[in-house]
Structure 1
């Protein structure tokens, strides 16, 4: 009978014994690197989405709300926080979180429409809960005419005007009432955005040149459209100036890698902007080792429409680590352990990806072979093939797979924004 009562062992997809963790930790590991309903190397998107919904059912609503807000504000994920918000709205305890939750996860007007699309994904006839109507509708107060007009187009399942009609927020004054009337009637002024400008079908070179000269491009739009500007014949000088003027804002480190991949001639400006985003920070003292997973599963794309991979994410974090830690050595692991040259920026990315063949996931062997250090940071999808020793270190998980190995004595961190390295600094300042 004793044998029958033992907990069933669980394993990673590669076969190593995985750690058994509580539901909240499961939610965090599945959320913080999740592009909602996008399949990953080992798991399909629907499986991940279903697991998130089941976990919300058994976790206190206040904890789920905290995870949703962290995913939105720190990890800069757009859709998965909205799914968590929707699942919370199924219970009385969850609906009690609506006021604080919607104020933090609705950052753009189309977040309202996207939330309602998720809300009605399984049942188009389900009525909105009273708290959803009130606090989702209240989100409209954040946005001016330009913002509403910018996100009002496209082939969305739920239109902003429909969302306004359904939630029926009360305008605070006549000006707001008039703005909302214009939204419903389709009379908002056409915004001067790059999407609108290019959709007019005019001279693309002239359009891009004007938008650059008038600083009408946000940081992400600038980085994503460097290739389009080049194809249109925009002057290199203007493009370089546009890159130099980028404000980091909600950009992720990987955005710079993506832009540089397609625009190698502008790599010096992109790299300089990357360094600028992380300049001025006091170096963290001590001997630090960063160990980067370059196994075959890390070559998987982040989403069906993305050319970026988990390795790109890992490289971006290693690039930040080079700027953050005073004495740093970087190693990669797959079937072997390899130290890469002490380079910075995109040169470090190249050294990591070319260091060895992208094969197996022998994390345990790699950890055992590492040199002495004060701090170990492993960046991986956690799907180790061999057993991983229980030692003091940080394990950054950059995928949403159900089971992982980096628990116990390991300090486990989920996600792939620059905030994960900030967490390490704060943790050590608090815990000595």
Structure 2
């Protein structure tokens, strides 16, 4: 039997596919998925297992860089945590690489506990020196408000993490905050969830938080319908949408979801999305955008908690690319390719 033959790659539909090396395959799996979320051709567990396997076939330096890029540039949360977990288990990872990567990836206080829960998902095991160092470094990033906001009940708590990593506070003030965390005496954060759970009036809560600049942009997008139905001043809401757009981390499909939930703000949301594009570098020259409109894109939600499917997300990204391109053409494809004129 001949062994010296080219092994051909094929897509899920049986079409011929390009060959990829482990690093390319890892990048595609990480950057194109929300961890453990089902896709049309694969379930979330299969994707997670592939990420685990591929991470150990790549150089640890590349895994560390990809985890940081996925979190900071692509704004993903769980896939980067998976990558740094596998980096911590990588036989060739050395020195401060692991600790630095964990510290870079953990950008929200609840990710401290999420990482540890993920690390122990297959059974508790001792934490290496570098894992402890990375979590301790990350712990020092967060103030009292952030720790109180994300101090949730779960299999692993922030208190557990603090005890496990033996972090040293950067000053006396932070030491006092950590003591309050351990004792359970951190002041309740001034958030819309806390205020509404206490029975406060919706209109008053959202109006106050917006005027005091305490309502985050994602919370603003998610609560548009609540605010509209509660009678919050429309001009105030529109002003907040436009003012915070340029600095927001919201992906394009978030604006679409908000417009569907509350059509009254659709024109403002469209302008806000365009402002969000203003911070991005423009694409010079000719740009071609291909949007998959086949059956696999329709009715497959981007996540279990979302009402936006992959076609919505793809269309939003196409609009984003067109908005930052000097010269752009958009095509859709399934069985045929069609050029879509600019509106």
TM (norm. structure 2) is 0.93
Shift of the 165–328 alpha-carbon distance from structure 1 to 2, 3 Å rule, reads same
TM-superposed CA distance for 1:118, in Å, is: 0.3
Quote the residue 1:337 is aligned against: 337
Quote the residue 2:166 is aligned against: 168
TM-superposed CA distance for 1:280, in Å, is: 7.6
Shift of the 283–9 alpha-carbon distance from structure 1 to 2, 3 Å rule, reads closer
What do the CA deviations read for 1:179-231 (whole angstroms, capped 9, x no partner)?
Answer: 11111001111111112112112222221222222221111111111112123
Candidates 175, 178, 181, aligned match of 1:177: 175
Quote the residue 2:233 is aligned against: 235
| 1:115 paired to 2:96 | no
What do the CA deviations read for 1:221-270 (whole angstroms, capped 9, x no partner)?
Answer: 11111112123232323322221222433222222122112222111111
Matches within 5 A, 1:175-324: 175-247=173-245, 248-279=247-278, 284-299=283-298, 300-324=300-324
Quote the residue 1:403 is aligned against: none
Runs of 5+ consecutive residues of structure 1 not aligned to the other structure? 344-432
| 1:20 paired to 2:19 | yes
- Measured in 1, the distance between the counterparts of 2:279 and 2:141 equals 33
Quote the residue 1:387 is aligned against: none
Q: Secondary structure at the match of 1:172?
A: coil
Runs of 5+ consecutive residues of structure 2 not aligned to the other structure? none
- Measured in 2, the distance between the counterparts of 1:95 and 1:175 equals 34
Shift of the 172–292 alpha-carbon distance from structure 1 to 2, 3 Å rule, reads closer
Runs of 4+ in 1 over 6 A off after TM superposition: none
What do the CA deviations read for 1:283-334 (whole angstroms, capped 9, x no partner)?
Answer: 6454443221111111221111111222222212221222222232322112
- Measured in 1, the distance between the counterparts of 2:126 and 2:143 equals 28
Root-mean-square deviation (CA, aligned residues, Å) is: 1.8
The number of aligned residues is 340
Q: Is the 8 A contact 1:279 1:323 kept in 2?
A: no
Shift of the 181–281 alpha-carbon distance from structure 1 to 2, 3 Å rule, reads closer
Q: Secondary structure at the match of 1:81?
A: helix
Deviates more, 1:90-99 or 1:11-20: 90-99
Quote the residue 1:158 is aligned against: 156
Q: Secondary structure at the match of 1:291?
A: strand
Q: Is the 8 A contact 2:242 2:275 kept in 1?
A: no
Deviates more, 1:272-281 or 1:31-40: 272-281
| 1:48 paired to 2:40 | no
Shift of the 140–286 alpha-carbon distance from structure 1 to 2, 3 Å rule, reads closer
